[in-house]
Amino acid sequence: MTNDNGAHVKETLVEVGHELFELEEPLRRVRDLAHAVLMLATSDEMGKQPGAALHALANTILDELNDLIDRRDNIWRIAIDKREAADED
């Protein structure tokens, strides 16, 4: 790998890592909102049927968000590993 190409790869990996890091806060905010909906769905003031529907929806949203967060974390780790490997070259 030429130095120019290696520098470009490293720069790209730094950018990818940064963008993935920037996703963390919005994903966690949405997850917190889904938790709030889940709490609302189980409140005593919520009717049984609407509450059950909200509960199911909130759980589905939480499952999807947790998957997205896990994927973001995995991609971020890959980018860091590749950047460290590029540093060694």
4-26 per-position pLDDT tens digit: 777 788 888 888 888 888 888 89
The model's pTM is: 0.69
Q: Report how far apart, in Å, the C-alpha atoms of 37 and of each of 57, 67, 73, 77, 86 are.
A: 9, 19, 25, 31, 44
**Residue 65: closest CA among 40, 36, 28, 37:** 28
d(CA 61, CA 68): 10
pLDDT digits (tens, 9 = 90+) for 38-71: 898 888 888 888 888 888 998 999 999 999 989 9
Q: Report how far apart, in Å, the C-alpha atoms of 85 and of each of 3, 15, 17, 52 are.
A: 14, 16, 14, 49
DSSP letter at 89 equals: -
